[in-house]
Structure 1
């Protein structure tokens, strides 16, 4: 029997792993493994990750669509550029931007890929070298420009595709083992590892619904997501022989930037 409450509980727990604005917690270690926790983590966390991204994207899309519908595409573009990036960063605690900036800072300083991915990302309140601050500001402004560009052409729906894709990449990486662990020691375990395909199905379904009037572009976005996920996994295997939270945040956030740029190329150029 389909237990909607159990799946909502899994979604809530997974949401709370990535988002600072917490949802109520419903499960504990004493509950059944399929719908409870495995090693202290939600049993279905990986399947729920793309849905977390999808809900974030919907929360961005709906108000931006309303602003665009009422006030026009210029207002929609300004709202997308000004409000979407900080909303995402505040919701996630700036983890993606901070992790990526720390990664680039260390690589620029001569650190190896392994050292950069094992490093603890700096808090936003910690002092940073000027170069790191400039890098963070550049990434943030770039995201603002891309959000605004998509908002200006009535394509705020692409934000759902972007965030769903970013969390699909995170899901794929979380199926790896932690550095030093065994092959079966998954970072986020599932009751059955074959279930990860349901996360991909869910992500594809969300993307197709969001981009129902732009199916070719949406499929291109999904293919790019799969390619990024595969490449990120190979990079992690080659450098740290596994996955950790720093790498999850670095590559998930990078995937979002790439998908944003892809959307700009697709929708501000020839119509799809």
Structure 2
């Protein structure tokens, strides 16, 4: 959630709080890429540079295959959480910040795996809708394998209000009126990677500096862990709704599911023996 340290995003959220686009009601988070097939993995020897046991952490132990490390683990349920929790975390977080909402009242997910017959275990195209109090909602559009629109950037968030619209990315803040006419654009001074597997850029340095300064100088943290954990919960709920294939009703004070006991079974993962959390 390094975008919370972006100057343009901070300015945009401040402007939203001051009513620049009226009453905000919708956040549209999206990510678009053209990821290729990960194939069907075969068992091979673990690389000498990798501690496979430590790398797996609390996950039940699996054999090492040639299509897991270093990046494709995102698409395996034993270790990963799919695109919504890989890249959706970033964009959903910006929408939630801009709308001023926390946990949702309901979650609905549609999608599936469409592009390749391979080991990928999550949807490669997915749409999730979160509803909140005050008649606000957030949508997540994840297109892992198939770029959405050539004129759109690979990722971003659009915030809708009663008086206008704001597009936010790691690079810029763009304000439009209700007719789609541009009012003002502001840009970051440094670049940031958007859809590669590293994602590095100036925002990382700014975000890390803010964290260090919070420790050393008592500077206000741009993204406290308690707040960041709420966005994390939204991503998990999106996956749970996808698996349930029905709208999940959520307790907005705890995040727990109210209408589906089977979905709630995913509240806790299966742990490798000896790695269970000590509560």
User: The TM-score by the shorter chain falls in which range?
Assistant: under 0.3
Between structures 1 and 2, the one with greater helix share: 1
Q: Which structure has the larger Rg? A: 2
TM-score (norm 1): 0.26
TM-score (norm. length: structure 2): 0.25
